[in-house]
């Protein structure tokens, strides 16, 4: 498998729908689940599937992503495995930046070409899922397909948010992008179980397998000016080439905006989350930071995740993801919140110096109440701060925080002074 398949992970565009989390980092570098980065998800799925050669295409704010991959994915000198960043670059024959998903891969072909493979697996860098790609590659070969698209059954209500495929005998016969009407024409046979759940439509997951030679030919010749897979290359290939559907029925979440990102993280705190971080056969890999265990004192904890190296004295945590190196002080309550943590520990001298200058220490101070929020990395939240996110709040963007659909996002490195209140 490892020599048959080469994986290309798309870093995405500017990530405007995930602002402010993408203000100074690319989408694949956004921290998730308290200790991982989004890019760890597709990379881990590949490694668990025996696919060990990967390129990550990126253009925006790529410094932290480069650093994470450099510090994380090391392989034996006797192995052919690698995870390499392909950043957008201007060349004499192509002075433009990436114009879309297909154009990004096209511009990377000169780096991809020297590596032999039969198939190219194209993945998104901002999705949450656990798939065995061996099954998908096998289905692709068994069907004799030229292109295979991973699809997931969705309801009529969800269908208008995705590219929808119509299939006959496992082959995709037509494709439409985010249909708003005429949905009855797009019903596919998704199987008895899925139909019973009202999931009669097949949505593209943005995961593709291409026969290598065909991909090169499409990008360089037939569709040399096409910029996007979902909007141009895939629809125009249907009927001309054998485009198969690989139906996936597990958990999959497109982390495209702040509400989706927030709910995907909070969902990890359930007793049995749909995205299972505790599955031995589907481990999620990330940087080994050699941090101490989390330390908790006097805290009532319900359905929460605590990252390595966190120090928690809070009064109450409920449905909370606490990231690495987080610090939460006494008499504080945090509910339905993702706290990303910190990049470093403050020394006692740092803390004394901050106190002398009236600056809160890293983390969350004393007697705070925080609910329905995302606290980006390295925030400093003073004492007696109250943040009450919810639908009563209008969307807003300020230097310290952003509000999206009732979710308060405290920006990276923001300092909220003692007594700060929002949404109360």
What is the domain range of residue 9?
A: 5-267
DSSP character for 373? E
Q: Concatenated DSSP letters for 91-129?
A: BTTB-S---SHHHHHHHHHHHHTTS--SEEEEEESSEEE
Q: Which two tokens stand for residue 229?
A: 């897979």
Average pLDDT, the chain: 91
Which of the four pLDDT bands, split at 50, 70 and 90, describes residue 61? low
Q: Is 83 helix (H, G, I), strand (E, B) or coil?
A: strand
278 assigned to some structural domain: no
Average of pLDDT values for 281-303? Answer: 94
Site of tokens 């990008």: 219
Instruction: Please check whether residue 206 is in contact with residue 248, taking contact to mean a CB–CB distance below 8 angstroms.
Output: no
Strands (E) across 264-405 are located at 295-296, 300-302, 305-306, 311-312, 316-322, 327-328, 333-339, 363-364, 369-375, 380-381, 386-388, 396-397, 401-404
Strongest mean pLDDT among 65-74, 163-172, 309-318: 309-318
Instruction: Please check whether residue 194 is in contact with residue 153, taking contact to mean a CB–CB distance below 8 angstroms.
Output: yes
Residue 130 has pLDDT above 70, yes or no: yes
pTM of the predicted protein model: 0.92
Average of pLDDT values for 47-60? Answer: 89
For the chain, what is the largest distance between any 2 Cα atoms, rounded to a whole number of angstroms? Answer: 71
Residue 97 has pLDDT above 70, yes or no: no
Q: Do 192 and 76 share a structural domain?
A: yes
Which among 237, 267, 297 is the end of a domain?
267
Q: What are phi and psi of 7, to 5 degrees?
A: -105, 140
Which of the four pLDDT bands, split at 50, 70 and 90, describes residue 346? very high
CATH at 303: 2.160.10.10
Share of the chain above pLDDT 70, in %: 95
Q: Do 237 and 305 share a structural domain?
A: no
Cα–Cα distance for residue pair 71/44, rounded to 1 Å: 15
What is the pLDDT at residue 102?
86
Q: Do 198 and 337 share a structural domain?
A: no
Average of pLDDT values for 405-413? Answer: 97
What is the pLDDT at residue 215?
95
Which of the four pLDDT bands, split at 50, 70 and 90, describes residue 160? confident
What is the pLDDT at residue 145?
96
Average of pLDDT values for 230-252? Answer: 92
What is the pLDDT at residue 269?
96
Cα–Cα distance for residue pair 198/12, rounded to 1 Å: 31
Residue 89 has pLDDT above 60, yes or no: no
Instruction: Please check whether residue 150 is in contact with residue 42, taking contact to mean a CB–CB distance below 8 angstroms.
Output: no
Which among 235, 267, 299 is the end of a domain?
267
Q: Do 380 and 239 share a structural domain?
A: no
Site of tokens 């198939």: 119
Cα–Cα distance for residue pair 60/14, rounded to 1 Å: 6
Cβ partners under 8 Å of residue 26, min gap 6: 11, 12, 15, 58, 59, 60, 61, 62, 64, 65, 125
272 assigned to some structural domain: no
296 assigned to some structural domain: yes
CATH at 95: 3.90.550.10
140 assigned to some structural domain: yes
Which of 78, 73, 93 minimizes the C-alpha distance to 7? 73
Q: Do 250 and 353 share a structural domain?
A: no
Average of pLDDT values for 195-215? Answer: 93
344 assigned to some structural domain: yes
Residue 331: Cβ-neighbour burial (10 angstroms; 0-12, 13-18, 19+): middle
Q: Do 205 and 62 share a structural domain?
A: yes
Residue 10 has pLDDT above 60, yes or no: yes
Cα–Cα distance for residue pair 117/109, rounded to 1 Å: 13
Strands (E) across 65-221 are located at 82-87, 119-124, 127-129, 147-154, 163-168, 171-177, 201-211
Query: Cα 9 to chain center, whole Å?
Result: 11
């Amino acid at each position: 498998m490892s020599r048959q398949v080469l994986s290309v992970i798309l870093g995405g565009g500017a990530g405007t729908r995930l602002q402010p989390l993408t203000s100074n980092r690319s989408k694949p570098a956004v921290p998730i689940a308290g200790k991982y980065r989004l890019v760890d998800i597709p990379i881990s799925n590949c490694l668990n599937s025996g696919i060990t050669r990967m390129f990550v295409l990126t253009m925006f704010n790529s410094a932290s992503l480069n650093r994470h991959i450099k510090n994380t994915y090391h392989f034996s000198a006797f192995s052919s495995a690698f995870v390499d960043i392909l950043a957008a670059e201007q060349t004499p024959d192509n002075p433009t930046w990436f114009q879309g998903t297909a154009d990004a891969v096209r511009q990377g072909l000169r780096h991809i070409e020297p590596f032999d493979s039969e198939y190219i697996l194209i993945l998104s860098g901002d999705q949450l899922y656990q798939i065995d790609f061996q099954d998908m590659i096998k289905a692709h070969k068994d069907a004799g397909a030229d292109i295979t698209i991973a699809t997931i059954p969705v309801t009529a209500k969800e269908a208008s948010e995705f590219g929808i495929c119509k299939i006959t005998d496992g082959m995709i016969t037509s494709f439409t992008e985010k249909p708003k009407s005429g949905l009855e024409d797009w019903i596919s046979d998704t199987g008895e179980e899925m139909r019973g759940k009202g999931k009669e439509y097949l949505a593209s997951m943005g995961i593709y397998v291409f026969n290598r030679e065909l991909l090169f030919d499409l990008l360089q010749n037939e569709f040399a000016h096409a910029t996007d897979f979902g909007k141009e290359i895939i629809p125009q290939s249907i009927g001309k080439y054998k485009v198969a559907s690989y139906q996936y029925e597990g958990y999959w979440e497109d982390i495209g905006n702040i509400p989706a990102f927030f709910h995907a993280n909070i969902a990890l705190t359930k007793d049995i989350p749909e995205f299972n971080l505790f599955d031995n056969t589907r481990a999620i890999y990330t940087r080994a930071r050699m941090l101490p265990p989390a330390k908790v004192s006097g805290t009532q904890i319900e359905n929460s995740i605590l990252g390595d190296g966190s120090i928690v004295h809070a009064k109450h945590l409920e449905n909370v993801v606490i990231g690495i190196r987080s610090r939460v002080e006494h008499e504080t309550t945090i509910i339905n919140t993702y706290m990303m943590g910190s990049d470093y520990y403050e020394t006692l001298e740092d803390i004394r110096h901050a106190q002398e200058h009236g600056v809160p220490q890293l983390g969350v101070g004393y007697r705070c109440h925080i609910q329905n929020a995302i606290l980006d990395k390295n925030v400093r939240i003073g004492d007696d701060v109250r943040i009450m996110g919810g639908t009563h709040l209008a969307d807003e963007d300020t230097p310290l925080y952003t509000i999206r659909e009732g979710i308060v996002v405290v920006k990276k490195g923001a300092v909220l002074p003692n007594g700060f209140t929002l949404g109360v």
